[in-house]
Amino acid sequence: MLRGTNRTLAAWALAATMATATLLGSGPGTGPGVAAAAPQKPRQHKVAKGHTLGAIAGRYGITIHALCTANSISRDKVLKPGMMLWIPPKSDETGEETRDVVNGKKPSKSAPPKRGASKKSDDEEVSAADRRAVRWHTVAKGQVLGSIAKRYGVTTKALMYANHLSGRSTIKPGQKLIVPAKGDTTGAKARYIKDHPKAEPTRQAKKSDGDDEASWKKYARKAPKPGQITLVRRDGKVMKLTTLTSKGNVRSAAKKAFREMLETRNHEEIDIDPRLIQNITRVSDAFGGRRIHIVSGYRIRKTSKKSRHRHGRAMDFTVEGVPNTALRDFCKTLDRVGVGYYPNSHFVHLDARERWTYWIDYSKPGQRPRYGGFWTKRSKAKGK
């Protein structure tokens, strides 16, 4: 199909010459005509790793149907790097003219579409799974493209292509960037999705996930004994304790208990940040003193040196009888905290920090982070 390039281009050139001659009225017995531009020629595209029919069609502004027809292939054709595809001009809406030229036939005029007839939807060019796989990043102060790309495990080149950025482009705090999925090595799919938004949820926070600031109030209860919490460790150990003094300070006994309950599996301990203990107490009081199940506390293995787990300032947990969406939304009301929501896991992350921060991570247990959003704002505390 793709052989005989010179022969097919010659056929196209001959057809173009004939069409131009007719439009100019140069045949016998005709007067001067109105000059018209010669029809566009088809181009060729070399398939690269990660390219799909949808992404290629989107790049050239044509439909998958036209691309497949021009190359006499089906929609489920598996593309391989190095393969050459004919790209029909936009004037060849069906791809039939390009197919005929490629096969050495005289281009035939395709019948004009019937009034009211609809073309195949361009939304077919990128699947629903492709749209769900992309992530969105909100640029924070001081961030650069290289660091953002590294954070999500993509190349800077793919990130730039997806967002129509050049080497001279600058990004600003608050700017939203689309982040290509892992398999979208060129950023072509992400670029198409950015240019052709569809009214379906992507990897940004969505209302169906319960991203409702007041959702936690449905599960709020009055604590029988404010300041008294019940912790449950993964090995089944249960500890009930009163954490705060009448002035709101953390009791010495509570600090010792938290050291023990958040220890590593090898029984390594560290002092737990008092603000984390205070916030866990607030969570307990908000949900009526329900049992708090610890998923992870102090960690020193398989975690970065900057992780707050390593410094006794973070805890992953659930609250018995409370959905993680409601737990997340209450934690977001706290000040000077970091809140991490993991839709594909089974816990909520809470840590103590100076600047309020919230993020969504779509990774599953054991996977690298797949962030779907990152938000930060100044603390409510004076001077923070």
Q: Model confidence over 30-50: pLDDT tens digits? A: 343 334 445 577 889 998 888
Mean pLDDT of 230-239: 92
Structural class in CATH, domain 5-26+35-110: alpha beta
Q: What is the pLDDT of residue 381?
A: 63
pLDDT above 70 covers a percentage of the chain that reads 79
Q: Where do we find the tokens 């949820």?
A: 201
Taking the C-alpha atoms of residue 18 and residue 36, their distance in angstroms, rounded to an integer, is: 12
pLDDT-based confidence at residue 125 (cuts at 50, 70, 90)? low
Binning pLDDT at 50, 70 and 90, where does residue 308 land?
A: very high
Residues whose CB falls within 8 Å of the CB of residue 192, separated by 6 or more in sequence, listed in order: 54, 55, 58, 59, 125, 126
In terms of pLDDT, which residue wins out, 169 or 323? 323
How many C-beta atoms surround the C-beta of residue 149 within 10 A? 20
Rounded (10°) CA dihedral 181, 186, 191, 192: -90
> What mean pLDDT is predicted for residues 170-187?
87
Buried b (16+ CB within 10 A) or exposed e, 160-194: bbbbeeeeeeeeeeeeebbbbbeebbbbbbbbbbb
Q: What's the residue count for the chain?
A: 384
CATH of domain 128-193: 3.10.350.10
Structure confidence at residue 107 (pLDDT): 47
Q: For the chain, what percent of residues have pLDDT higher than 90?
A: 34
pLDDT score recorded for residue 119: 40
The residues facing 317 across adjacent strands are: 294, 348
Taking residues 147-153, report their average pLDDT: 86
Confidence class for position 231, pLDDT limits 50, 70, 90: very high
Of 152 and 270, the one with more pLDDT: 270
What is the rounded average pLDDT for all residues in the chain?
79
Lowest mean pLDDT among 4-18, 136-150, 368-382: 4-18
Query: 352 — phi, psi (to 5°)?
Result: -100, 125
Tokens representing residue 15 in the block: 């057809």
User: Phi and psi (nearest 5°) for 139?
Assistant: -65, 130
Nearest to 342 by CA among 356, 328, 362: 362
Residue 369 — pLDDT band, cuts 50, 70, 90? Answer: confident
Whole-prediction pTM: 0.48
Q: Give ranges for CATH 3.10.350.10 in the chain.
A: 5-26+35-110, 128-193
Confidence of residue 133 (pLDDT cuts 50, 70, 90): confident
Give the side-chain half-sphere CA count within 13 A for 185.
7
pLDDT band, residue 213 (cuts 50/70/90): low
Q: Residue 105 — very low, low, confident or very high, per pLDDT cuts 50/70/90? A: low
- Range 216-377: architecture per CATH: 2-Layer Sandwich (3.30)
More confident residue, 151 or 122: 151
Q: Where in the chain is the domain with CATH 3.30.1380?
A: 216-377
pLDDT at 241: 95
Q: 50 and 185 in contact (C-beta within 8 Å)?
A: yes
pLDDT at position 5 over 80? no
CB-based contacts of 238, cutoff 8 Å, min separation 6 = 230, 231, 232, 291
CA-wise closest residue to 106 among 37, 178, 17, 46: 17
Q: Which of 52-56, 115-119, 249-253 has the highest mean pLDDT?
A: 249-253
Q: Average pLDDT of 5-24?
A: 46
Residue partners of 85: CB distance under 8 A and separation at least 6: 44, 45, 47, 56, 67, 70, 71, 79
Q: Which residues in 5-16 are b (16+ Cβ under 10 Å) and which e?
A: eeebeebbeebb
Q: In which band, very low, low, confident or very high, does the pLDDT at 203 lie, cut at 50, 70 and 90? A: very low
pLDDT at 59: 84
Per-residue pLDDT band for 372 (boundaries 50, 70, 90) equals confident
Q: What are phi and psi of 342, to 5 degrees?
A: -125, 90
Question: Bigger pLDDT: 141 or 4?
Answer: 141
